[in-house]
């Protein structure tokens, strides 16, 4: 049974369908939420909140987006609510306004195979919103459009966050190499 | 073409390009060396991303116990149910959530809402470090960082095992539903203006008419704070709840929230994360008030960069000082602005109506300056240096730039808005743009239509309306995504569904108010604007 059909059944009040959807999305959701917090208790709280929102809101799912990006977008908002209560915040995006996307840069390779460990460290020091987009695209395999729906930004922002992530990874790796 | 193709490389890698696009990118890659190198980099980044986040897999066993208990408890609760915090409802109504979440907490005075600060960064890189404990929390390395609290089912009848974290307490959840109302208002008394809509108390709002406590009282509240800390560290939510007064629980129950672990931590925001080693906070300025309660500043025991603290009211019950109210107090805010050789990180800086500092960091290779002739400010910052500037001005709109030769691009021009009441005695009612390139908000209107457009923006984003009368604002969301319109200072927050039109009525005293979309990600990309509320010009 596809996700869309599950949503239809949930909208009709089928509890088994919500349980199925939960089993299917719990892993990906928990993994996605780890970009914001490492606290397993908070993650489970947000996942449960998300499922409650799905239960109450399934009839409003319009099918404009994929079920996955819809569920992710709910989880993101629920996470924001929980963080607000807990006084945490999703970092603001340190990207530049009125500045063109970073130039692809010199045609040399700043990142190479030897730098994998450095790259891991560099990724973990990226701003949350940039790590989030890397994660949505490379781990969850979302398309730009789905990722945009999940985090409520236009597709262009997904592209620019990816470019900025790459640019700052290059800069960090270069600094390490120079040091 | 190269630019466009490079944008698509991550999607090329994860296989989500449309078929036409995929062929176009593949063809292009065959003869574009730069793009091939970029693709190799993306391959490394993709692989490192997977490694970086491939932590332990999530246990696939779990159930929806809590969801069903909530569904069964509130079967008829409409999605937009509004719950209000007793006594405060008239002034501080909760945000009108459009979500289907029935347990949306009301925002009570003092409850921190860090998300709203994100908007300061309105223009963008102006990162605001208001609630720095967050940054502190986030900066804890994963390995030595907070030990996650075990997930507990506190709702639905599962009572956690007794804990040794608070030996003097009877463990177990308080009987929320059965706690009788005492009829007393135990919230710290609030007066208009203390909060200024920013969701926290300002130091001026703290009660001051008490007398310093004696040694045994000091020991008593210290014992409570010690228990609180050890319960946090032990992850024992029920014991934390047992440290609150009956009246606190009664007020809490009225909000419809669960006495859950997460909400327990909202009682103790500045105690810090549950690390197993959170130090005991310091208690300062403890005073006893006429009603017998004791108020004290609770300063976190860790290095706290947020310029804030908590203020607790304690009440003596059965020989123990229990927490009767907890509010968050913000002393001043810091607005971070970065400048580099291409300009300022934000062209729009918002200053809330409270003490504020601008922290300017030069990440460029040459010196730059922050100059505002309107404000009479000039600061030059050398490469790699940071300078802190105290911000104080009448509410209104000002401009800033850099006067270093060569700093003449658009990136070096910006606007700075001071929110606040124009009726301040020393306020200059110069709210419209001056002849310096600022965009004026136009004549004050009795009704106005605001469009939410793509890419994220409001049109217009400078609005002038008439003071002290009902002004109809029609909000039109022309985008395909949900949008929101929030003015913290006026307690306005409405969601606007895609393609929908919503009308709100604003009645505000003269002043300068910031508005923004509180949907995560929106304000950061510039979804913000300024509402100027002005008296009608006197007719001759």
- Find the angle CA(A78)-CA(B459)-CA(A146) to the nearest 5 degrees: 40
Structure tokens belonging to residue B378: 């000039």
**Could you give phi then psi for residue B486, rounded to 5 degrees?**
-125, 130
For residue B462, give the nearest of B480, B438, B486 by alpha carbon: B438
CB proximity list for A64: less than 8 A, separation 6 or greater: B480
| Comparison of pLDDT for B258 and A132, the residue scoring more | A132
Helix A144-151 crosses helix A155-178 at what angle (to 10 degrees)?
A: 100
Q: Mean per-residue pLDDT for A26-51?
A: 84
Give residues 68 to 87 of A whose Cβ lies within 8 Å of B: 74, 76-78, 80-87
B380 pLDDT tier (thresholds 50, 70, 90): very high
- Mean pLDDT for the stretch of residues B24-38: 85
Please give the Cα distance from B466 to B314 (Å, whole number).
Answer: 44
Highest mean pLDDT among B88-102, B228-242, B406-420: B406-420
Sequence-separated contacts (24+) of A14-19 with Cβ below 8 Å: A15/B68, A18/A51, A18/A54, A18/A55, A18/B64, A18/B67, A19/B63, A19/B64
Nearest C-alpha of chain A: how many angstroms from B395? Answer: 24
Q: What is the mean pLDDT of residues B102-119?
A: 28
Q: Do A154 and B455 touch (CB under 8 A)?
A: yes
Least confident range of B111-115, B364-368, B451-455: B111-115
**Most B-contacting residue of A10, A61, A99 (CB-CB within 10 A), to test interface:** A99
Closest CA of chain B from A161, distance in Å: 10
Average pLDDT, chain B: 66
Euclidean distance between CA atoms B311 and B110, whole angstroms = 9
Beta-carbon contacts of residue B36 (< 8 Å; ≥ 6 apart): B29
What is the C-alpha separation between A117 and A114, in angstroms, rounded?
8
CB nearest to B118's CB, from A89, A111, A115: A89
CA dist A120 and A117 (Å) reads 5
Mean pLDDT of B419-448: 53
- Contact list in A for residue B51 (CB cut-off 8 A) is 116, 120
What confidence score (pLDDT) does residue A134 get? 93
Q: What percent of chain B has pLDDT over 90?
A: 7
The helix or strand, by DSSP H or E, that contains position B496, with its residue range, turns out to be strand B492-496
- pLDDT at residue B125 tops 60: no
pLDDT of residue B370: 93
B16: contact with A, CB 8 A cutoff: yes
Using pLDDT thresholds of 50, 70 and 90, give the confidence band for residue A43. Answer: confident
The length of chain A in residues reads: 179
Q: Is the model more confident about B130 or about A31?
A: A31
Contacts of B153 (CB under 8 A, 6+ apart): B65, B66
Q: Mean of the per-residue pLDDT values for chain A?
A: 76
**Per-residue b/e over B379-405, b at no fewer than 16 CB within 10 Å?**
ebbeeeeeeebebebbbbbbbbbbebe
Provide the terminal-to-terminal Cα distance of chain B, rounded to the nearest Å: 61
Of B520 and A67, the structure prediction assigns the larger pLDDT to A67
Placement of tokens 């240096």 in the chain: B385
pLDDT at A89: 47
Rounded average pLDDT over B400-415: 88
B343 φ, ψ (degrees, to nearest 5): 140, -170
Mutation target among A85, A131, A165, A174 for the B interface, most CBs of B within 10 A: A85
Is the Cβ pair B14, A88 closer than 8 Å? no
Which CATH code, of 3.40.50.150, 3.20.20.450, 1.10.10.1100, 1.10.1740.10, is assigned to A3-178?
1.10.1740.10
Distances in whole angstroms, Cα of residue A125 to Cα of each of A8, A33, A59: 41, 17, 40
In this predicted structure, what is the pLDDT of residue B459? Answer: 80
Structure tokens at B52: 């970086």
Would an 8 Å CB–CB cutoff place B149 in contact with chain A? yes
Residue B424: band (very low, low, confident or very high) from pLDDT cuts 50, 70, 90? very low
CB atoms within 10 A of CB B414: 25
Residue range B42-77, pLDDT digits in tens: 988 888 888 777 544 555 456 777 777 777 765 433
pLDDT at B15 over 80: yes
User: What is residue B16's predicted lDDT score, i.e. its pLDDT?
Assistant: 86
Residue B485 makes CB contacts below 8 A (sequence gap 6+) with B450, B452, B458, B475, B492, B493, B494, B496, B502, B504, B515, B517
> Which phi-psi region, left, alpha or beta, contains residue A102 (left: φ > 0; alpha: ψ -120 to 50)?
beta
* Cα-based distances in Å from B232 to A144, B144, B220, B241: 40, 17, 19, 11
pLDDT tens, position by position, A82-136: 766 655 444 433 332 222 333 444 444 556 655 667 788 888 878 788 888 999 9
Nearest CA in chain A to B66: A48
Residues constituting chain B: 540
**Residue B461 pLDDT:** 80
Tens of pLDDT, residues B69-99? 777 765 433 222 222 222 222 222 222 222 2
Mean pLDDT of the region A15-26? 87
Domain boundaries, chain A: 3-178
Task: Report the candidate in B383, B522, B382, B303 with the shortest Cα–Cα distance to residue A76.
Answer: B522
Tell me the sheet residues that pair with B513: B531
Nearest chain B CA: its distance from A74 CA (Å): 9
- What was the pLDDT predicted at B221? 92
Burial status of residue A106 (CB atoms within 10 A of its CB: 0-12, 13-18, 19 or more): exposed
Work out the minimum CA distance from A107 to partner chain B, whole angstroms: 5
- pLDDT number for residue B394: 81
**Secondary element (H or E) of residue A179:** none
Specify the pTM.
Answer: 0.40
C-alpha dist (Å) from residue B430 to B373, B440, B464, B468, B485: 15, 11, 13, 18, 25
Pairwise CB contact (< 8 Å): A165 & B15 = no
Q: Are strands B511-516 and B528-534 parallel, antiparallel or unpaired?
A: antiparallel
**What is the mean predicted confidence (pLDDT) over B245-260?**
73
Query: Rounded mean pLDDT of B507-511?
Result: 84
Q: Looking at CA atoms only, how far is residue B345 from chain A in angstroms?
A: 5
pLDDT value at residue B212 = 92
pLDDT tens profile B158-203: 333 334 455 443 333 333 333 333 333 333 333 222 333 334 566 6
Smallest Cα–Cα separation from B509: which of B449, B448, B421, B446? B421
Burial category of B24 from C-beta neighbours within 10 Å (exposed 0-12, middle 13-18, buried 19 and up): middle
Ordered DSSP codes for B166-189: STTSPPS---TTTPPP-----SPP
- Range name among A116-120, B432-436, B535-539 with the lowest pLDDT average: B432-436
Q: So what's the pLDDT on residue B267?
A: 60
SS3 content of chain B, % helix, strand, coil (to 5): 25, 25, 50
Those residues whose C-beta lies under 8 Å from the C-beta of residue B424, and which sit 6 or more positions away, are: B394, B395
Task: Among B53, B262, B482, select the one facing A82 at the smallest CB separation.
Answer: B262
CA–CA separation, B308 and B290 (whole Å): 26
């Amino acid at each position: 049974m596809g996700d869309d059909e599950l949503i239809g059944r949930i909208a009709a009040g089928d509890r088994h369908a919500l349980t199925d959807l939960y089993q299917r999305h719990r892993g990906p959701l928990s993994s996605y939420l780890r970009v914001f917090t490492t606290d397993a208790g908070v993650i489970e709280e947000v996942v449960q909140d998300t499922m409650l929102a799905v239960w109450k809101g399934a009839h409003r799912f319009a099918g404009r987006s994929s079920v996955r990006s819809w569920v992710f977008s709910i989880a993101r908002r629920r996470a924001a609510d929980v963080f607000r209560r807990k006084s945490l915040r999703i970092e603001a995006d340190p990207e530049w306004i009125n500045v063109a996307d970073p130039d692809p840069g010199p045609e040399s390779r700043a990142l190479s195979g030897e730098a994998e460990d450095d790259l891991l460290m560099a990724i973990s020091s990226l701003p949350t919103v940039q790590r989030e987009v890397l994660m949505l695209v490379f781990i969850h395999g979302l398309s730009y459009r789905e990722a945009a729906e999940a985090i409520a930004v236009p597709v262009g922002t997904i592209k620019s966050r990816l470019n900025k992530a790459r640019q700052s990874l290059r800069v960090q790796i270069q600094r390490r190499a120079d040091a | 073409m190269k630019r466009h193709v490079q944008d698509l490389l991550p999607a090329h890698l994860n296989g989500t390009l449309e078929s036409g696009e995929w062929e176009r990118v593949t063809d292009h890659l065959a003869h574009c060396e730069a793009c091939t190198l970029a693709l190799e980099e993306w391959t490394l980044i993709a692989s490192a991303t997977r490694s970086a986040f491939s932590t332990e897999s999530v246990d696939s066993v779990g159930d929806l116990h809590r969801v069903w208990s909530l569904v069964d408890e509130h079967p008829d609760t409409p999605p937009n149910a509004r719950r209000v915090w007793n006594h405060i409802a008239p002034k501080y109504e909760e945000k009108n959530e459009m979500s289907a979440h029935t347990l949306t907490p009301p925002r009570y005075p003092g409850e921190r809402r860090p998300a709203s600060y994100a908007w300061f960064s309105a223009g963008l890189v102006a990162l605001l470090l208001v609630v720095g404990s967050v940054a502190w929390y986030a900066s804890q390395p994963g390995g030595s960082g907070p030990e996650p609290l075990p997930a507990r089912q506190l709702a639905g009848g599962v009572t956690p095992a007794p804990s040794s974290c608070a030996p003097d307490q009877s463990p177990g959840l308080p009987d929320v539903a059965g706690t009788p109302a005492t009829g007393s208002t135990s919230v710290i008394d609030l007066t208009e203006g203390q909060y200024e809509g920013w969701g926290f108390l300002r130091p001026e709002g703290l009660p001051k008419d008490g007398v310093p406590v004696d040694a045994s009282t000091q020991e008593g509240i210290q014992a409570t704070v010690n228990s609180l800390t050890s319960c946090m560290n032990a992850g024992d939510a029920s014991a934390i709840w047992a440290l609150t007064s009956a009246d606190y629980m009664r007020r809490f129950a009225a909000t419809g929230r669960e006495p859950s672990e997460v909400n327990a931590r909202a009682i103790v925001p500045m105690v810090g994360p549950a690390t197993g080693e959170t130090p005991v906070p310091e208690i300062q300025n403890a005073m006893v008030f006429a009603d017998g309660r004791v108020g004290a500043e609770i300063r976190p025991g860790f290095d706290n960069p947020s310029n804030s603290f908590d203020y607790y009211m304690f009440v003596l019950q059965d020989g123990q000082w229990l927490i009767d109210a907890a509010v968050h107090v913000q002393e001043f805010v810091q607005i971070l602005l970065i400048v580099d050789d291409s300009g300022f990180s934000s062209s729009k800086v918002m200053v809330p109506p409270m003490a504020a500092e601008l922290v300017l960091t030069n990440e460029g290779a040459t010196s730059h300056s922050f100059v505002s002739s309107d404000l009479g400010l000039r600061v030059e910052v050398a490469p790699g240096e940071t300078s802190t500037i105290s911000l104080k001005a009448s509410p209104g709109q000002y401009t800033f730039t850099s006067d270093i030769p060569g700093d003449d691009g658009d990136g070096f021009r910006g606007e700075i808005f001071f929110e606040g009441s124009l009726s301040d005695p020393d306020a200059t009612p110069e709210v419209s743009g001056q002849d310096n390139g600022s965009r004026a908000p136009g004549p004050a209107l009795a009704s106005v239509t605001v469009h939410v457009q793509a890419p994220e923006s409001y049109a217009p984003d400078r609005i002038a309306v008439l003071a002290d009368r009902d002004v109809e604002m029609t909000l039109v969301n022309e985008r395909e995504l949900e949008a929101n319109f929030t003015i913290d200072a006026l307690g306005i927050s409405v969601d606007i569904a895609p393609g929908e039109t919503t009308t709100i009525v604003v009645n505000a005293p003269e002043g300068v108010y910031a508005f923004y979309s509180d949907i995560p990600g929106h304000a950061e990309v510039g979804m913000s604007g300024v509402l100027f509320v002005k008296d009608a010009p006197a007719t001759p």
